[in-house]
Amino acid sequence: MTSTNVIDAGSAPSQPPARPRTPGGARSAGVTFAGVLRSERIKLTSLRSIKLTLIITVVVGIGLSAAIALLFSNEMRSAAGGSEGAAFGAGASDLQFYLLVVSTFAAPFLALIFGVLGVFAISSEYSSGMILSTLTAVPKRTPVFLGKAIVLAGVSALTALVLVAGGLAVALICYPASAAQLGSSMVVSGVLGTVAYLVLISLFAFGVSVLLRSTAGGIAVVAGVTFVLPIVFQVLTMTGWAWVTTVSEFLPAQLGTVMSRGIVDVASGPTFWVATLAMIVWVAAVVLPAVGVFKRRDAH
């Protein structure tokens, strides 16, 4: 007698569904930090307010540089021609001073615009509610925070470089003889110091905006630190208190001035490197607490 074994297909153990594969055959790894950076870049550069801010920054900055270049180049020509009424000479140090003044003159005034850029980088998502979608797509908040900060620093650095390079181009057009000092250590360090200062101001504003989650509040704080505080301490110097002068030398606006002068000998006050380190401390004092707040606080 022959027996027949019938196997029920429904009783066979089912296999788990295969995980989706990428076109290259590798399994999907989920959200990567590169993807976070790409997303943050798209979000930041697609904002109309950001585009307008960057355009205004470059146009106003180069316009101010052109006005200063026209004024100073006439003085340089007068000095080169032996005129006794010239404000300064036409030596190497004068040419370096000319290049730095023209290319970095607008930086203290435009620091607020870079601060606004830093505020918009995060506050716009809170005001629109997009931050909820962002944190849903990337549940780990640290990559989001770092991605926003890195993209902001990159955009700020690129804008500052265009701004300073435009100022240098205007300076060379107005007085071509200054090209001989373009590669001097004073000019190079001053240009890089100006770029670093504007980037650090934008990161400082970014940290303030994360803490406050308010566009108006963030701009008010940045404006107060960069413009109001120097005026307050200028008034306080009339008291004769020694600490007022010391503290005023380490306010962001004064630190930015020192950084834009490049590596030069100073009789008093912070040097180029001390000013750069102090500006980094200002940023760290705001950004580090902002990281903790961003990770713990409800996004609503």
Assess if residue 15 is contained within a domain: no
Please give the pLDDT value at position 183.
Answer: 87
Range with lowest mean pLDDT among 250-259, 262-271, 272-281 = 262-271
CA distance 251 to 100: 21
Q: Is residue 17 part of a domain?
A: no
Task: Give residue 56's pLDDT band: very low, low, confident or very high (50, 70, 90).
Answer: confident
- Among all chains, which residue has been given the structure tokens 């903790």? 292
Residue 18 lies in a domain: no
Q: Which of 159, 164, 171, 168 is nearest to 113 (CA)?
A: 159
Q: What single-letter amino acid sits at 150?
A: I
**Residue 112, exposed/middle/buried by CB under 10 A (0-12, 13-18, 19+)?**
middle
**3 falls within a domain:** no
Residue with the bigger pLDDT between 129 and 8: it is: 129
Is residue 7 included in any domain, yes or no? no
N-term to C-term CA, the chain? 76
Give the whole-angstrom CA distance, residue 73 versus residue 175: 6
Identify the top-confidence range among 42-46, 79-83, 111-115.
Answer: 111-115
205 CB contacts (<8 Å, ≥6 apart)? Answer: 114, 115, 116, 117, 118, 119, 218, 219, 221, 222
Q: Give me the mean pLDDT over the 101-112 stretch.
A: 87
Check whether 2 has a pLDDT greater than 50. no
**What's the total number of domains in the chain?**
1
Nearest to 193 by CA among 246, 263, 124: 263
- pLDDT over threshold 70, residue 19: no
Better-predicted residue by pLDDT, 300 or 131: 131
Under 8 Å between Cβ of 198 and 276: no
| Residue numbers of the domain that contains 235 | 33-296
- Top pLDDT among 137 and 49 is at 137
Mean pLDDT of 143-157: 92
Q: Which of 101, 53, 55, 70 is nearest to 205 (CA)?
A: 53
Please write the tens of the pLDDT for every residue from 182-204. Answer: 889 999 999 999 999 999 999 99
Residue 248 lies in a domain: yes
| Structural domain contains residue 5 | no
- Does the residue 1 lie in any domain? no
